Homo-oligomer: A and B are copies of this chain.
């Protein structure tokens, strides 16, 4: 049997501690499967004195991540600290420059510096694996990087933030408001005290930026993503969606268009009888549509110490199985030097169906005016629903329009035209519709 693979771990939070326990308790199985032992030889974390319930005897404690990366006797540097800059970024770069293999769960770092890091890894013949960075335990990086080789991807999209999906699911199933569901998510530990990063879509955007690069072979471009969070979604939207045969999910979508790559994160209506519509709670799902394979959907846990540790362990095992580290899967699917520049498709040219909810004064001519604004912008309608407001406090009513496929630009112009009239009794709500290819 080959020499043990020596692993150094930077970061002993939930994921790091879970990883240590798993590697120690399954040493024999791992050695059998990988053809060599996997041995944790060094660790580093912020506080040496903290009791993590781990047996760290025989493992070197290193004071800083940078020292672990530059000096420790390890083959693989596992980065589980997080953050796009600072110690995580410095130590990962140092490890790769030293020729060490790196495994990381750090989506922020990859979104910010993935191409640069991939270049260093490929120059040094090191592996850089990051399955845990996107959709936790779902092996979507491996699918895109390995299984889909030779395919031309047309669209990749998914539910990649458990907090948002939990909130939207609760709102729908229990008729609760966004604010109440957010509080509940915070109480259960599914949402941070400052939830903006999740609910405004930034977390999904980081993950989407990584998937876009793997899917389309372009430079990572996290700042080129159209972003809309879920805080604006009301229970009324969810009920209206249900009535029309849809459910609302926060999707990250990247898609090849004639003018470039569209990247967008926004609340999305998906057909109720599609498979992805059934993905509830904190569960994640990622779909990839490509020209040879067709449609692939993967559903699983998007977060959690164990699920994330499982993905990290799979990455370490891949390195262990690759004798002498000679397997050369390009880090980002395409060799970093061969990545194309990212060319952004303008959101105005996005084409799709739209749900538009308008609260209007209950007076003669309003409906005709709305219909005219739509027609003048070339928008044809799939369905129109008009309801009285249940509270009856004002003489207002709700009009819901669902459009056939149309341009974002046309929808914005039509809505602006409606806003210029005097009958609107509230801000119009616009939600994009996304349809899976076949299931």
Interface residues of A (CB under 8 A from B): 22-23, 26, 29-30, 32-35, 131, 137-139, 142-143, 146-151, 273-275, 277-281, 283, 290, 292-301, 304, 306-307, 309-311, 313-314, 317-318, 321-324, 326-330, 333-335, 338, 438-439
Which residue in chain B gives the minimum CB-CB distance to A274?
B278
Interface of A, secondary structure class, is mixed
Set B149, B293, B310, B333: member contacting A300, Cβ < 8 A: B293
A439-B279 CB under 8 A given contacts A299-B299, A310-B151: yes
Q: How far is the CB of A36 from chain B (nearest CB, A)?
A: 9
* A22 contacts across to B, CB distance below 8 A: 150, 292
B328 x A321 contact (CB < 8 A)? yes
Most buried by B among A274, A290, A292: A292
Shortest Cβ-Cβ A-B pairs, 10 listed: A149-B317, A139-B147, A293-B310, A292-B310, A296-B300, A297-B299, A137-B293, A323-B326, A147-B314, A294-B301
Known: A321-B328, A327-B323. A298 touches B297 (CB 8 A): yes
Of all chain B residues, which has the CB nearest A338?
A: B32
**CA gap between A328 and B333 in the complex, in Å:** 21
**Contact indicator A294/B307 (Cβ below 8 Å):** yes
Residues of B within 8 A of A335 (CB): 32-33, 35
Of B35, B280, B297, the contact of A328 (CB 8 Å cutoff): B35
Q: Are A322 and B314 in contact (CB under 8 A)?
A: no
Shortest distance from the beta carbon of A275 to any chain B beta carbon, whole Å: 5
Closest Cβ neighbor of A143 among chain B residues: B139
